[in-house]
A and B are shown apart, each in its own frame.
Chain A
Amino acid sequence: MKYILLMSGTSAGVEGYHAWSKQDIEAHMAVLQRINKDLSASGEFVATQGLADPREAKLIRGEKNGMPVTDGVFPESKEFLLGYWIVDVANAQRAYAIAGQISAAPGPGGKPTNMPIEVRQFAAHEKPAK
């Protein structure tokens, strides 16, 4: 069963991450790398992507005179998608366990960041019954 695991954050949150110590940043990256390697080895890995900094985000709303209409500034509180993992796992519990590992990746001082990871399934062909 395929699930997508979403990691999001505000612009302020991303800036905060950039301000961690070198040691903390490297430790965090190493854990995420190891999770990717483990998922490859277990055959559960489907894909992972990192998205560019929220600074590079654009919001497009239709077009006018053949040109895309770019909406202005995002609200400060906006949660931007920072990256995701797509995994193919036996059941939902396993997806939550992987999300839990990502959430446990170390932050400042080596303590788990405890960041929330959103877990979603891919769309079924029918809408769920109301």
Chain B
Amino acid sequence: MAESHHGAEIEHLLRELAPQVLGAVARRFRDFSSAEDAVQEAMIAAFKQWPQEGVPANPRGWLIQVAGRRLTDHVRSEIARRERETAIAAEAESFSPELEIEADMDPDDTLILLFMCCHPALSASSAIALTLRAVGGLTTAEIANAFLVPEATMAQRISRAKQTIKVSGVPFHLPAAHERTERLPTVLHVLYLIFSEGYASSIGSHLQRLDLAREAIRLTRNIQVLLPENAEVAGLLALMLLTDARRAARTGPDEELIPLDRQDRTLWDRAEIAEGIELLTRALSKGSVGLYQLQAAIAAVHDESERVEDTDWAQIVALYELLRRVSPSPMVTLNHAIAAAMVHGPAKGLELLRALDSDPRIVGHYRLEAVRAHLLEKMGDREGAIKHYRNAATRTTSIPERNYLITQAARLAGD
């Protein structure tokens, strides 16, 4: 028991140190890609040795030194290889940079890494994988397992992501302020994707799957500490906490989905809700309004309602109207329609859906079908609701969603 507790502590320490170590090594060697590989190797070595030998007095220094040595070894053997090919002896002997342990400790390193890993040139899945490794300090195996792909595939994905960064000539320093402002939404989106990926179960998985939602919260928390004045970062963290708070109530004993209006609210995590609300309140007091703050505010209205019938739907509708102006999207319109139906009746909700019928981004999407079914049911159109629940079931790619939609249709058909 003590051993596994110790192991978990070491794991947590390594993850927290990873971006700092990578920052120091990448800054020194000016080769992000090789530095990242070397840091990975150092972390794996630490994870093997520290449980036996104890955590060193200066764990960060240990990792920087080991990573530095790996890098130097690779560079030396690369030079030696060239030496064998071109017979240049002197170079190999003269290359021996001594890495000062406390050199170049820059608190901005985590931010620099985050902006690099979420570079617009990368696809979403590449950015997610690279962020989890370079900023999150997770191992390739852990990330592969979380996304249910082979380790070799995940390694390749990360390798190619780093190659893209190299080719794009992304420098190792913090982007200029205006660029940071422009690129922050992409960064936050990647963090949000990691969070939402966390809501998956695994059937028969032998390995303990990483809790991606918790990892996303940890990373976003770290970013929020580095950017305390940024309201959208705080908004994103609040949104994650307010959503994660409901986790225990979201699935039933057979992994079945339980919608918000039927969840046992006594299972919600009140401490997480309190923290989320506090963060949100402080963020909103800064006066600006953004996508994540608004979504967090909507989540807060739900989370603050002791019973589903206490939900202040009028406030939610107002928030969605604002969200539609700040960050319009088909999903926002869908959610707005559901809320509007609660205040003005299902016919109003269906009216709002009509705009989506000609939107190529969402026409035929399972959620549009599912929301329509839900509203038709409320209208008393049982046949229409059954038809659209079944349509939705054929279009979803999620097992729990499909099971939920099939059973909704069956419930109505049986009434």
Residues of A within 8 A of B (CB): 14-15, 18-26, 29-30, 33, 36-37, 39-40, 45, 47-48, 50, 52-53, 55-56
With CB as the reference atom, state the residue of chain A lying closest to B399: A50
- Max chain A CB contacts within 10 Å: which of B206, B255, B393, B406? B406
Residues of B within 8 A of A (CB): 203-204, 206, 254-255, 390, 393-397, 399, 403, 406-407, 409-411, 413-414
User: Could you tell me the distance between the alpha carbons of A30 and B403 in the complex, rounded to whole angstroms?
Assistant: 11
User: Do the beta carbons of B406 and A25 come within 8 Å of each other?
Assistant: yes
User: Could you tell me the distance between the alpha carbons of A45 and B134 in the complex, rounded to whole angstroms?
Assistant: 33
**7 contacting pairs across A/B (C-beta < 8 A):** A20-B410, A23-B414, A25-B403, A33-B255, A40-B204, A55-B394, A55-B395
User: Could you tell me the distance between the alpha carbons of A25 and B112 in the complex, rounded to whole angstroms?
Assistant: 51
Inside 8 A of A20's CB, which chain B residues have their CB?
410
User: Do the beta carbons of B413 and A33 come within 8 Å of each other?
Assistant: no
User: Could you tell me the distance between the alpha carbons of A29 and B402 in the complex, rounded to whole angstroms?
Assistant: 11
Inside 8 A of A40's CB, which chain B residues have their CB?
203-204, 206
Partner pick for A26 among B390, B407, B413, CB 8 A cutoff: B407
B353 to chain A: closest CB distance in Å? 21
With contacts A33-B255, A39-B204, A48-B203 taken as known, whether A21 is within 8 angstroms of B414 at the C-beta atoms is yes
With CB as the reference atom, state the residue of chain B lying closest to A50: B399
User: Do the beta carbons of B403 and A29 come within 8 Å of each other?
Assistant: yes
User: Could you tell me the distance between the alpha carbons of A23 and B406 in the complex, rounded to whole angstroms?
Assistant: 11
User: Could you tell me the distance between the alpha carbons of A47 and B206 in the complex, rounded to whole angstroms?
Assistant: 11
Partner pick for B409 among A18, A26, A29, A50, CB 8 A cutoff: A18
With CB as the reference atom, state the residue of chain B lying closest to A22: B410
User: Could you tell me the distance between the alpha carbons of A99 and B328 in the complex, rounded to whole angstroms?
Assistant: 49
Inside 8 A of B399's CB, which chain A residues have their CB?
50
User: Do the beta carbons of A33 and B254 come within 8 Å of each other?
Assistant: yes
B21 to chain A: closest CB distance in Å? 36
User: Could you tell me the distance between the alpha carbons of A14 and B393 in the complex, rounded to whole angstroms?
Assistant: 11
User: Do the beta carbons of B406 and A36 come within 8 Å of each other?
Assistant: no
Partner pick for A21 among B254, B397, B413, CB 8 A cutoff: B413
